[in-house]
Amino acid sequence: MFSEVTFGSFLSDCFFGLRFDTFAICAVNVLFIIFSLLPVKQFYGKAYQKFLKYLFIILNSVFLLPNCVDFAYFPFIKKRSGADLFNQVGGQTDIGKLLPQYIRDFWWVLAIYILLVILLIWLYKRIKVESPPALLTSLKSKLTIAGIFILACGLTFLGIRGGFGRNPIDIIDAGIYAAPSEVPLVLNTTFTLVKSLDKKELKEYKFFNDTELRALYNPVYKKRDTLPFAKKNVVILILESYAKEYTAGGKAGVSYTPFLDSLAKHCFVFSNSFANGSKSIEGIPAILSGLPHLMENPYINSSYSGNVQSSLASILGKEGYSTAFFHGGINGTMNFDSYARMAGYQNYFGRNEYNNDDDFDGFWGIWDEPYLQYTVKKMSELKEPFHSSIFTLSSHHPYFVPDKYKGKFPKGTLENSASIAYTDLSLRKFFESAQKTPWYKNTLFVLVADHTSLSDHPFYKNIAGQQCIPIFFYSPSDSLTGEDQRSFSQIDIVPSVLDYLHYNKSFFAFGQSYMRKQNNNCYYYINGNLMLVADSLLLSFNNNEIRSVHNFKRDSVLGKNLMGKYPQLETKLSRQFKAFIQTHNAAVVNNKMSLK
C-alpha cells in the first residue's frame, strides 16, 4: 500500500510513530500500571497477581484486535480506523450473516490475531514477581515505592497527553511528521480509535441512486478548459474574525476598514458571501480544502482528519508550485501546523520561525503589521509559481493593538473596532511592500475572513448575518473586477481559483466555481442544524427535513417563517440539500475527497 515510500522515510515514520505508540500503550494499560505499582502488600499475593494478569491480557487483546482488523480494512478506506468503524459495523443490519463471510475472506487476519494473543500470554507468563515480604517494612522502602508510583503515574500521564506540548496529542498531529500519504504509517489503530471515541461521526444516507445523485450534485470537476494553464501565484489572505459588517460592503452604516474598502473597488467582489463555519478551526479547512463544517466536531479534530483531501496546496503542488502556510500564532495553536501538513503545504511559518519575540503580542503570536511584512520577504524567497496562505491574528480577542497605535484609530461602537482597523492598516502596508516585488503582478490575491465576530447590528446577529463575511478576488495584472451577487461561500474558493487559472485537469471539490455554478447554495452547521443559503433564502434542516424558511434580504431579523409558502421551491432546494449531504458524508466517511 506504500510502494512509493523510501526506506529512509519508512524508518522516519516508524520512529515518530513511537509517540503515538506510547499513547496507545499508556492509555490501554493505565489501570494495569496503577494497580501494578500500588504500594500495598497484597501485590505479592497470588489472587492479586492473577487479577493483574487477566487485566493486562484482556485490555491488550481487546485493543490489538482493531489493529488486526485494519490489516484487511485499510486497503478499502486508506486510513486507520476510528470510532466510525463501530458505526459502520453497527449500521450493517445483516451483520450476523456478513460476519461469517468476513471470517472466511479474511481468515488470515483472525489467525494473526490469535497468534498475537498467544504470544502476549506467553511473554507475560515469563515475568516472575519475587520479592521479600519485608520490602514494605521500613520507612525508606515505603517512600521508595511511593516515589516510584508517583513517577510512573506522571510518566503515564505524559504518555497519554503526548508530551509537554501546548495541546494533547491528536490524530492530526501525525501530519507534522510525515507526508499526508504516509500518515497511516505513523499512526496506530488503537490511537485513532481511542481519540475518536468521543467524536460524533457522520451518518451516510441513501436519498438517491447514483444517476439521480449526479444529476443533482457532482463534486468532480471534469477537465474542460482549452486555454493554457496560467501558472500565476496564488495568495490567500485569511482575515481573523472579520465580519462583513465591519466593511463598507456590509452597509451597516459604519466601516473600520478604509483600505479594504478602497481595494474592493479594484476587485471581483462576492457581495453575498458566507462562512461555512463559526470558528477558525472550521474556517481554515473550508477556505483551503473546501471542507464545510457540517458536524459537531471541527474537521481538524475529527476522526476524519487523516483523510486524503484535495486542497489548493495539494493540487497546485503537483503542478510544480511552492507552497507555504503563514500564521504568526504560537506553533501548535488549534493544530494549524498539523493541518497545513495534511493539506499538502510544503512549508509552515509560525511564531517559532519568525524568531523575534520583540513583536509578540503577549497572547496569540506576532502582531499583524510586522508579520505581514515578514510574509512578503519569505514569499520573495519562494520559487515561482507559489501558493501561500496567510492567516492574520491581531483582530482576535482580546482585541489589543500595539502601544504606538493606541488611540490612533476612530473609536467604534464595538470592542474590536481598533483591532479590526489595525489589521486593515497592516494589510495596506502589506500591499505597499508586495507592489515592490517582482512577483506581485503575476499573483491572484484572495481576501477572505475565517469567520465573523462581535456585532451590534440586528441582521448581523441572526443566524444568516452572523455568517456573512467579505470575499474578494484581486489580480493586479488583469481586469478581474465587478460584483457577483449570487450566494458564495468559503468552500467555493478552491474551484473558483482553479477555474480562474484555467486549470486543465479534473479535480474534486465540494464547492462550486463561480464560473460554472449548478446552483447558488451555501451550507453550514449551527446549533445542531444544517443551514442552506440560496441567494436571498435561508433554510434550516434538522434530521434532513426543512424546519424553517426565511428571506433574509427582506426580513433582516428573520421574524417571518415562510415555510410552506413556496412548496415547489422548497422541494427543489430540499432535493439539492439531500444530494449534497449524501455526497459529502459518503466522501468524508469513505475517505474519497480527492481524485487519486
> Which of 341, 338, 390, 332 is closest to 364 using CA atoms?
332
Contact 297, 480 (CB under 8 A): no
For residue 488 the three cell numbers come to: 458564495
The three-class DSSP label of residue 400 is: coil
User: How does DSSP assign 448-465, residue by residue?
Assistant: EES------SHHHHSTTG
User: What is the C-alpha radius of gyration for the chain, rounded to an integer number of angstroms?
Assistant: 27
Output the pLDDT for position 92.
Answer: 42
Q: At what angle do helices 7-28 and 30-37 cross, to 10 degrees?
A: 60
Output the pLDDT for position 94.
Answer: 47
Give, in degrees to the nearest 5, the angle at Cα 489 between 486 and 490.
150
Residues of the chain with CATH 3.40.720.10: 210-589
Contact 515, 495 (CB under 8 A): no
27 residue type, one letter: A
Question: Does the 210-589 domain belong in CATH 3.40.720.10?
Answer: yes
- pTM for the model stands at 0.79
> Which of 179, 168, 127, 126 is closest to 10 using CA atoms?
179
How many whole angstroms separate alpha carbon 516 and alpha carbon 487? 13
Strands 233-239 and 386-391: parallel
How many whole angstroms separate alpha carbon 257 and alpha carbon 399? 15
137, HSE (Cβ side, Cα atoms, 13 Å): 5
Q: Output phi, psi for 74, to 5 deg.
A: -55, -45
How many whole angstroms separate alpha carbon 174 and alpha carbon 178? 7
Place of cell 494553464: 229
Render each residue's pLDDT in the chain as its tens digit; 596 residues.
777 778 998 999 999 999 999 999 999 999 999 998 887 777 778 888 999 999 999 999 999 999 998 888 877 667 788 775 664 444 444 455 556 767 888 899 999 999 999 999 999 999 887 765 555 567 777 788 888 889 999 999 999 998 887 788 888 788 778 766 688 899 999 998 888 776 667 889 999 999 999 999 999 988 776 789 999 999 999 999 999 999 999 988 889 999 999 999 999 999 999 999 988 989 999 999 999 999 877 888 787 888 888 999 999 999 999 999 999 998 888 889 989 999 999 999 999 999 999 999 988 899 999 999 999 999 999 999 999 999 999 998 889 999 999 999 988 889 999 999 999 999 999 999 999 999 999 999 999 999 999 888 888 988 899 999 999 999 999 889 999 999 999 999 999 999 999 999 999 999 999 998 778 899 998 867 899 999 999 999 988 999 889 999 998 888 889 999 999 999 999 999 999 999 999 999 999 998 86
Output the pLDDT for position 411.
Answer: 85
How many whole angstroms separate alpha carbon 594 and alpha carbon 314? 10
Output the pLDDT for position 46.
Answer: 85
How big, in percent rounded to 5, are the helix, strand and coil portions of the chain? 50, 15, 40
Distances (CA, A) of 331 to 179, 274, 346: 19, 28, 16
Contact 430, 375 (CB under 8 A): yes
How many whole angstroms separate alpha carbon 173 and alpha carbon 341? 9
What region, left, alpha or beta, does residue 153 occupy, with left being phi > 0 and alpha being psi -120 to 50 degrees?
alpha
For residue 552 the three cell numbers come to: 433574509
How many whole angstroms separate alpha carbon 90 and alpha carbon 492? 34
Q: Output phi, psi for 219, to 5 deg.
A: -80, -5
- Partners of 273 in beta bridges: 488
For residue 430 the three cell numbers come to: 502589506
